[in-house]
């Protein structure tokens, strides 16, 4: 069977983890992690691309060396580097590194000083108090590690781009086997949650059994859990579960509504139906035994006296009450975005030139792009010091002189230092159009210390936007501990914007935080944090998250024409 993209991505992630534990070149470990993210988000399998003669080296962040390794994995099913690292570093080191608060550097200490090789070794060392013998392992960290080890293992969730790639390929496969009808994805995937537990697929056809048969025949199916005339459940080789339901066309709207959820939203709708003496289920809206709606979602909402509720809002967070008044927000759309305000080039850790990023942004129909390479403290990202930043400013000025109908804004992603000061002097920051401030280290400060640190950074009048405000990496790193209410209030008072980082590993702000910011009147920038031309496409995930946070175009600064944007970011 062909090797799945997710399997190759998992191999690359595991290799990166072990290389970092080993103390290998950090640029090499980052290359494998970045390649894994690219593979997860590809719309088709690399095996199919190789069969079609496509050059994998042309993919962003891949290159000749990694393309060759991918081709070998596809051919043999083996990754020699990973096998070598496993022999060299035996044990559950990748799993240990994933324990909150640890990471590769601390795992390396555990290996060298305590001979740790397994999760059980960590648990034993923590219970005996031996972690306290190591530098950087204070009482709080030891408590956190024990708490993490005591938690039951949660069901695996999958990041949105991965689920999107799986759903797209599967829907394409099933659709080709239909004789009329359609196939659509529902569930939390359709609500565009940042992670997805499983895939709910809905099909309408007169040949119900044939669709289930075709799902079982899908090449990526690892195991069939159930297979009946209208419902089939399988586990794909990536580990994600797929639940397929086949319904009649006259029930399609009701089924799509039911299986999209959320459960709380569905219960609220059913209660509205009960209040009218009706019954609502996955087959339709009924007055006794007579169907009065069900073919479309719009028809059901209308019959219940509601404005149509977009899937992203269906979380029972007040949307029903507003839909009764025809007062739901006019949600931001991808077409509303006029530019990207957080973009990197090969001057720091991006892999494209400023000109290439500019052309890619123009091709997306944008009017502007802010170049925000890292500042000097992020040495691993080849951050810019004062002299290099001034040279970059000159290069952008020369580029802008040649452009027509597009502007590159001069910017920086400046590090917020531990005391809340910034990584570059005001004298340089004052020469920029936009300053994006970010925390990249000292994640373990106390709640008060971290909050004060960020607020002090926003005190600097040159700071336009606070980037990825909680520092979370989905399924990898918990957000640092901050008082988000205080941070938002401080941002509002200072005229500083908050970023909704569209990079799908981050999606930071969360949907709940984005809604809270909107209610407080804090302006949001939806930005990709792109490190390649392909990374600009992440904007759609940021817009999905913004829609889940109830954001309208007026809440988002990069929906504005450039002349108005400049007023908003100039404090």
- Look up the domain containing 535 and give its range: 334-569
pLDDT of residue 5: 81
DSSP letter (8 states) at residue 343: E
Q: Is 253 within the bounds of a domain?
A: no
pLDDT at 466 exceeding the cut of 80: yes
Going by C-alpha positions, the residue among 423, 409, 402 that lies closest to residue 367 is 409
Instruction: Please tell me whether residue 105 adopts helix, strand or coil conformation.
Output: helix
Q: Do 170 and 145 sit in the same domain of this protein?
A: no
Give me the residues paired with residue 370 across strands. 409
pLDDT at 253 exceeding the cut of 80: yes
Q: Is 506 within the bounds of a domain?
A: yes
pTM: 0.83
Torsions phi, psi of 487, nearest 5?
-65, -45
Q: Is 256 within the bounds of a domain?
A: no
Rounded to the nearest integer, the mean pLDDT of the chain is: 91
pLDDT of residue 15: 87
pLDDT at 61 exceeding the cut of 80: no
Q: In the structure, what pLDDT confidence band is assigned to residue 261 with cuts at 50, 70 and 90?
A: very high
pLDDT of residue 190: 98
Q: How far lies 69's CA from each of 31, 49, 75, 94, 152, in Å?
A: 13, 15, 10, 21, 36
Q: Do 168 and 224 sit in the same domain of this protein?
A: yes
Domain limit, last residue, from 247, 279, 294: 247
Is the bond preceding 262 in cis, omega lying within 30 degrees of 0?
yes
Pairwise CA distance, residues 464 & 462, whole Å: 6
Q: Do 485 and 359 sit in the same domain of this protein?
A: yes
pLDDT of residue 40: 76
CATH of the domain at 105: 1.10.150.110
Q: Is 542 within the bounds of a domain?
A: yes
Q: Do 486 and 410 sit in the same domain of this protein?
A: yes
Q: Do 141 and 283 sit in the same domain of this protein?
A: no
Q: Do 144 and 164 sit in the same domain of this protein?
A: no
Q: Is 565 within the bounds of a domain?
A: yes
Of the two residues 37 and 98, the one the predictor is more confident about is 37
Least confident of 157-171, 268-282, 447-461, 478-492: 157-171
Q: Do 277 and 425 sit in the same domain of this protein?
A: no
Q: In the structure, what pLDDT confidence band is assigned to residue 3 with cuts at 50, 70 and 90?
A: confident
pLDDT at 430 exceeding the cut of 60: yes
Q: How many domains does the chain have?
A: 4
Q: Do 174 and 317 sit in the same domain of this protein?
A: no
Q: Is 284 within the bounds of a domain?
A: yes
Q: Do 191 and 305 sit in the same domain of this protein?
A: no
Q: Do 239 and 267 sit in the same domain of this protein?
A: no
Domain limit, last residue, from 127, 150, 173: 150
Report the pLDDT averaged over residues 264-289.
95
Q: What share of the chain has pLDDT > 70, as a percent?
A: 97
Q: Do 277 and 203 sit in the same domain of this protein?
A: no
Pairwise CA distance, residues 344 & 171, whole Å: 34
pLDDT at 1 exceeding the cut of 60: no
CATH of the domain at 268: 3.30.210.10
Q: In the structure, what pLDDT confidence band is assigned to residue 154 with cuts at 50, 70 and 90?
A: low
What residue has token string 């719309």? 43
CATH of the domain at 541: 3.20.20.140
Domain limit, last residue, from 150, 184, 203: 150
Alpha helices (H) in 23-103, listed in sequence order: 26-41, 46-51, 63-76, 80-88, 93-97
pLDDT at 77 exceeding the cut of 60: yes
pLDDT at 536 exceeding the cut of 80: yes
Q: pLDDT tens-digit profile of 368-389?
A: 999 999 999 877 778 999 999 9
Structure tokens, 277? 């003496």
Q: In the structure, what pLDDT confidence band is assigned to residue 153 with cuts at 50, 70 and 90?
A: low
Q: pLDDT tens-digit profile of 469-523?
A: 999 998 878 899 999 999 999 999 999 999 999 999 999 999 999 999 999 999 9
pLDDT of residue 31: 87
Q: In the structure, what pLDDT confidence band is assigned to residue 398 with cuts at 50, 70 and 90?
A: very high
Query: In sequence order, what are the residues at sequence separation of 6 or more whose Cβ sits closer than 8 angstroms to the Cβ of residue 413?
Result: 342, 344, 372, 373, 374, 375, 436, 437, 438, 467
Q: Do 231 and 376 sit in the same domain of this protein?
A: no
Q: In the structure, what pLDDT confidence band is assigned to residue 52 with cuts at 50, 70 and 90?
A: confident
Q: pLDDT tens-digit profile of 277-311?
A: 999 999 999 999 899 999 999 999 999 999 999 99
pLDDT at 434 exceeding the cut of 70: yes
B/e letters for 141-157, b = 16+ CB within 10 Å, e = fewer, are bbebbeebeeeeeeeeb
Pairwise CA distance, residues 257 & 314, whole Å: 10
Pairwise CA distance, residues 320 & 336, whole Å: 25
Q: Is 329 within the bounds of a domain?
A: no
Instruction: State the Rg of the chain over Cα.
Output: 25
Q: Is 445 within the bounds of a domain?
A: yes
CATH of the domain at 243: 3.30.460.10
Q: What share of the chain has pLDDT > 90, as a percent?
A: 64
Pairwise CA distance, residues 183 & 212, whole Å: 12
């Amino acid at each position: 069977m062909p090797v799945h993209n997710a399997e190759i991505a998992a191999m690359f992630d595991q290799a990166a983890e072990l290389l970092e534990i080993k103390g290998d070149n950090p640029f090499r470990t980052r290359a494998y992690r970045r390649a894994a993210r690219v593979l997860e988000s590809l719309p088709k399998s690399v095996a199919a691309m190789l069969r079609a003669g496509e050059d994998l080296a042309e993919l962003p962040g891949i290159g000749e060396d990694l393309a060759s390794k991918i081709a070998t994995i596809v051919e043999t099913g083996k990754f020699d580097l990973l096998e070598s690292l496993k022999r060299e570093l035996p044990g559950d080191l990748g799993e240990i590194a994933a324990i909150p608060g640890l990471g590769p550097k601390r795992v390396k200490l555990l290996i060298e000083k305590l001979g740790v090789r397994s999760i059980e070794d960590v648990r034993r060392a923590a219970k005996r108090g031996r972690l306290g013998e190591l530098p950087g392992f204070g009482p709080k960290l030891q408590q956190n590690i024990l708490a993490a080890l005591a938690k039951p293992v949660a069901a695996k969730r999958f990041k949105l781009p991965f689920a999107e790639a799986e759903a797209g390929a599967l829907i394409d496969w099933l659709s080709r086997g239909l004789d009329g009808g359609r196939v659509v994805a529902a569930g939390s995937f359709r609500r565009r949650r940042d992670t997805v537990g499983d895939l709910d697929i809905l099909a309408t056809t007169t040949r119900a059994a044939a669709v289930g048969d075709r799902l079982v025949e899908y090449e990526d199916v690892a195991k069939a859990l159930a297979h009946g005339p209208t419902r089939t459940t399988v586990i794909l080789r990536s580990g994600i579960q797929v639940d397929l339901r086949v319904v009649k066309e006259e029930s399609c709207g009701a089924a799509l509504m039911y299986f999209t959820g959320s459960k709380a939203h569905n219960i609220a709708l059913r209660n509205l139906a009960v209040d009218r003496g009706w019954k609502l289920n996955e087959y339709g809206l009924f007055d006794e035994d007579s169907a009065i709606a069900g073919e479309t979602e719009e028809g059901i909402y209308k019959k219940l006296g509601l404005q149509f509720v977009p899937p992203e809002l269906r979380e029972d967070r007040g949307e029903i009450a507003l839909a009764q008044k025809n007062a739901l927000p006019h949600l931001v759309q991808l077409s509303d975005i006029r530019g990207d305000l957080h973009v990197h080039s090969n001057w720091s850790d991006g892999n494209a030139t400023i000109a290439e990023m500019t052309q890619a942004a123009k091709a997306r129909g944008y009017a502007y792009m802010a170049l925000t390479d890292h500042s000097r403290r992020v040495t691993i990202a080849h951050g810019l010091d004062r002299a290099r930043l001034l040279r970059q400013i000159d290069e952008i000025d020369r580029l802008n002189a040649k452009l027509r109908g597009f502007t590159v804004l001069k910017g920086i992603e400046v590090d917020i230092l531990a005391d809340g000061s910034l990584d570059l002097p005001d004298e340089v920051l004052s020469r920029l159009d936009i300053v994006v401030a970010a925390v990249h280290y000292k994640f373990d400060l106390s709640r008060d210390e971290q909050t004060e640190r960020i607020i002090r950074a926003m005190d600097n009048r040159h700071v336009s936007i606070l980037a990825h405000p909680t520092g979370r990496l989905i399924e990898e790193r918990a957000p640092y501990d901050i008082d988000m209410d205080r941070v938002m209030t401080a941002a509002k008072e200072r005229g500083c914007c908050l970023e909704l980082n569209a990079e799908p590993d981050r999606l930071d702000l969360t949907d709940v935080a984005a809604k809270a910011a909107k209610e407080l009147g804090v302006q949001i920038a939806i930005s990709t944090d792109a490190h390649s031309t392909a990374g600009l496409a992440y904007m759609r995930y940021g817009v999905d998250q913004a829609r889940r946070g109830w954001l309208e175009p007026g809440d988002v600064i990069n929906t504005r024409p450039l002349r108005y944007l400049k007023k908003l970011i100039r404090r």
